[in-house]
């Protein structure tokens, strides 16, 4: 035997600590900066918007290693306030010094909701997107910053976020379920009866999986189901981000999951710059978020996969994401399922 | 941003529950049975010992899906008592029924230390090995079973376990540390000062890593540092499994870790069957256990890597493994470091 288990209850008061502590290790920052799609999109998105940034005051919400703050200085920012609650703020100070930007970038260690800035800002920049866009609920801090610190007519980078959904056939799940039929040939022991138990553990789970979906696994043209304009969306609206979808399948297959992903857009005079985490684009560290159906449903060309999806913060831990899905696949109608994404711990009772 | 964090304290009383719950999901059983090196070794190790098993009574300690119990019936066992504490016992019952062995295999749900068997047994079979052999401390249950239920002169399969160590150069760690030197070329931001922080997080950690080591990364002939004869070893001896090692490097490289692994042996009239988790053999789901040094040490041909290593159960959670290392690498002498392997949670204070 051999295992690493990870299930434990966590009381509410510790949730923010767990969240910020998770950003005090090098691994998460390495993963984010090594994600070239993410970091280059931010770099170009910021540089393209130099007219909004040059000579202006910027607030970087959740600055981490300050890489976005430095891009803003490259774009001509007069001053950047880099707010970061986790211990990585110490490393950020060294990085800012090494890049000789101490006069331009002021690192403020603390939670955005409680820190004081010496002035209002012209621009807010932030990389706040979690898995399935809204996991971690960090957008709330960006909106708080907007409402408290952004000058009227100020700019938010990126400025728009969009959510997409598509039915998929996840071949790994098919292989894992079929595995139990291969045991008899392999070892002479019939384990076919494990199929139902495996389906219960793998498909009938309410946990949202984060994994890479390849474009071949996507069974229809994706549907955009929500769009958030960061200049106008409110924290109340984030309590329930809801949308409908209506997809038509490309051909014969078996739908065993729906898959969701997001894009964010930086405005541009000529054309906007889009950071897109679609399975049809180059992979990012966000991969895609997968909602497994309790059972696979056969589809053919033009079978309709339609429904309504709602993303909301978990009642038990607002940093965790809850997804409710009402859906129909062809004749298989009026189904619903609720999912959640945690951090490896069950929410408190 | 995007993360899955996993740090939380766990009180002692919940430790056994966490341990057994972790075996109630399909994934761990799939991983074990899909590990062909493991399962075929057990199958052949049991079949080779058919003379000890035929017409005899067997106890399977931690039976899981009962695959080893079924192999014992294939080898001619008259009766197998399959003891399993986790909920997978329910699936095991279905599997035994499907294979028409209800008359031969009796599944007893419970902890080995508290269940009652109707008779003593001739043979004990168990797959008790955790990462680095002793993580999970399941061998204690096998020894308890031996002392309480095994007839004098009875047989334990496997019968011997051995532990090995070798210095390695983990190239992934080198790449991860060097990553911070590449950021300036990539994005125009100097992050070389992150090297020390990355080294602190990645190498100066006391956590034992479980990962695949390739044979090219092994820098000397491995040293066997401990051997446990399951017929004679005591639980007291498992409180501290200690041994020394003395390796001579193959050539010029940089030692950034020591690596440990194990083998277990099934007796055989002609020749014994060895299930070996060495980096020189086909990979198993145990991979290898890696002990990172605080800093890398340069070595050349014949540089001595020597020392003493002690494996013991963690004081705070006896299912967790603690490793203490005293070592010298060439002129770099009298170093020591203590490591631990948990289940993703810090031990209770």
B11 Cβ under 8 Å from any chain A Cβ: no
Q: What is the mean pLDDT of chain A?
A: 93
- Give the separation between CA A284 and CA A293, rounded to whole angstroms: 24
Q: What is the dihedral of CA B70, B74, B79, B85, to 10 degrees?
A: -20
One of B31, B119, B127, B162 is an active-site residue; which one? B127
Tell me the count of A-B CB pairs closer than 8 A: 187
Residues A251-267 pLDDT 10s: 999 999 999 999 999 99
DSSP state of B119: S
End-to-end CA gap in chain B: 31
Residue by residue, DSSP assigns A295-332 as: EEEEE-TT-EEEEEEEEEE-SS-TTSEEEEEEEEETTE
Query: If pLDDT is split at 50, 70 and 90, which confidence band does A202 have?
Result: very high
- Mean pLDDT value across residues B326-337: 97
- Partner-chain contact B95 A193, CB within 8 Å: yes
Residue B245 to residue B261: CA distance in whole angstroms: 14
Contact A265, A158 (CB under 8 A): yes
Q: What is the mean pLDDT of residues B307-335?
A: 95
Give the residue, B120 or B269, on which the prediction is more confident.
Answer: B120
ipTM: 0.91
In percent, the amount of chain A with pLDDT more than 90 equals: 88
* B136 given a catalytic annotation: yes
pLDDT (average), residues A338-344? 86
What is the reported pLDDT for B345? 52
Which contiguous run of DSSP H or E holds residue A275? strand A273-276
Q: Is the C-alpha dihedral spanning A93, A94, A97, A101 positive or negative?
A: negative
Q: What's the whole-model pTM score?
A: 0.92
C-beta atoms surrounding A206 within 10 Å: 14
Query: How many CB atoms within 10 Å of residue B266?
Result: 22
pLDDT band for A16, please (50, 70, 90 cuts).
Answer: confident
pLDDT at B257 over 50: yes
Judged against a pLDDT cut of 70, whether residue B10 lies above it is answered with no
- Is the pLDDT at B347 greater than 90, yes or no? no
- pLDDT, position A21: 81
The torsion angles phi and psi of B190, rounded to 5 degrees, stand at -80, 115
Q: Is the predicted pLDDT of residue A329 greater than 60, yes or no?
A: yes
Specify the pLDDT at position B8: 40
Question: Which pLDDT band holds residue A58 (cuts at 50, 70, 90)?
Answer: very high
Active site residue B116: no
pLDDT for res B344: 63
Output the pLDDT for position A115: 97
Q: What is the rounded average pLDDT of the residues A71-79?
A: 98
What CA–CA distance (Å, rounded) separates A140 from A135? 11
Predicted pLDDT of residue B349 = 41
Query: In chain A, positions 102-141, which contact chain B (CB-CB < 8 Å)?
Result: 127-131, 135-136, 138
Structure tokens at A184: 């008899």
Return the structure tokens found at A260.
Answer: 């969701």
Please, what is the average pLDDT of chain B? 93
Phi/psi of residue B161, nearest 5 degrees:
-125, 145
CA A140, distance to chain mean position in Å, is 14
* Chain B residue nearest residue A42, CA to CA: B187
Strand partners, B108: B83
Residue of A140 and B19 predicted with greater confidence: A140
Please give the residue of chain B at the shortest CA–CA distance from A91.
Answer: B194
Nearest-Å Rg of the Cα atoms of chain B is 22
Q: From the CA of B211, how many Å to the nearest CA of chain A?
A: 13
Chain A residue closest in CA terms to B10: A8
d(CA B1, CA B90): 41
Is the pLDDT at A274 greater than 80? The verdict is: yes
In angstroms, the Cα distances linking A248 to A251, A256, A279 are: 9, 15, 18
Calpha distance B199→B202 (Å, rounded): 5
> Residue A13's pLDDT is what?
58
With CB atoms and an 8 Å threshold, state whether B43 touches A71. Answer: no
- Residue B248 pLDDT > 90, yes or no? yes
Distance (Å) from the alpha carbon of A306 to chain B's nearest alpha carbon: 29
By the 10 Å C-beta count (0-12 exposed, 13-18 middle, 19+ buried), B82 is classed as buried
What is the enclosing helix (H) or strand (E) of B323?
A: strand B321-329
The band of A6, judged by pLDDT with boundaries at 50, 70 and 90, is very low
Which of A12-21, A296-305, B111-120, B308-317 has the least mean pLDDT?
A: A12-21
Give me the pLDDT at residue B3, please. 46
% of chain B beyond a pLDDT of 90: 88
Least Cα distance to A321 among A199, A126, A139, A125 occurs for A139
Check if the beta carbon of residue B227 is closer than 8 Å to that of residue B162: yes
Q: Which chain A residues in 243-272 lie under 8 Å from chain B, judged by CB atoms? A: none
Residue among A148, A152, A147 at smallest CA distance from A122: A152
Chain B interface includes A315 (CB < 8 A): no
B233 pLDDT exceeds 60? Answer: yes
Phi, psi of B5 (to 5 degrees): -95, 160
Residue B80: what pLDDT? Answer: 98
Residues contacting B67, CB < 8 A, separation 6+: A187, A189, A191, B33, B39, B42, B95
Assess whether pLDDT exceeds 90 at residue B23: no
């Amino acid at each position: 035997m051999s295992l690493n288990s990870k299930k434990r209850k966590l009381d509410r008061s510790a949730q923010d600590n767990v969240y910020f502590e998770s950003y005090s290790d090098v691994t998460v920052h390495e993963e984010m900066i090594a994600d070239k799609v993410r970091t280059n999109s931010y770099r170009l998105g910021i540089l393209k918007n130099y007219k909004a940034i040059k000579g202006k005051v910027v607030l970087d919400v959740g600055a981490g290693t300050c890489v976005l703050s430095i891009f803003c200085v490259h774009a001509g920012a007069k001053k950047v306030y880099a707010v970061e609650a986790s211990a990585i703020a110490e490393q950020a100070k060294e990085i800012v010094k090494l890049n000789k930007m101490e006069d331009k970038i002021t690192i403020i260690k603390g939670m955005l909701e409680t820190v004081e800035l010496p002035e209002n800002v012209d621009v807010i920049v932030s990389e706040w997107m979690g898995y399935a866009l809204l996991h971690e609920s960090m957008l709330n801090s960006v909106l708080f910053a907007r409402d408290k610190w952004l000058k009227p007519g100020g700019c938010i980078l990126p400025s728009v976020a969009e959510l997409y959904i598509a039915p998929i056939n996840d071949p790994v799940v098919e292989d894992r379920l079929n595995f139990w039929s291969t045991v008899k040939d392999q070892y002479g022991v019939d384990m076919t009866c494990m199929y139902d138990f495996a389906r219960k553990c793998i498909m009938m789970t309410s946990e949202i999986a984060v994994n890479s979906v390849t474009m071949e696994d996507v069974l229809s043209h994706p549907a955009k189901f929500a769009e958030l304009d960061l200049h106008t969306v409110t924290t109340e609206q984030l309590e329930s981000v809801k949308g409908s979808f209506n997809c038509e399948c490309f051909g014969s297959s078996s739908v065993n999951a729906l898959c969701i992903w997001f894009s964010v857009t930086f405005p541009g005079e000529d054309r906007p710059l889009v950071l897109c985490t679609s399975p049809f684009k180059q992979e990012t560290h966000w991969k895609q978020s997968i909602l497994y159906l309790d059972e696979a449903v056969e589809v053919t060309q033009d079978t309709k996969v339609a429904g309504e999806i709602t993303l909301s913060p978990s009642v038990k831990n607002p940093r965790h994401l809850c997804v409710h899905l009402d859906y129909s696949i062809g004749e298989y109608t009026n189904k619903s399922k609720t999912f959640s994404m945690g951090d490896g711990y069950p929410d408190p009772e």
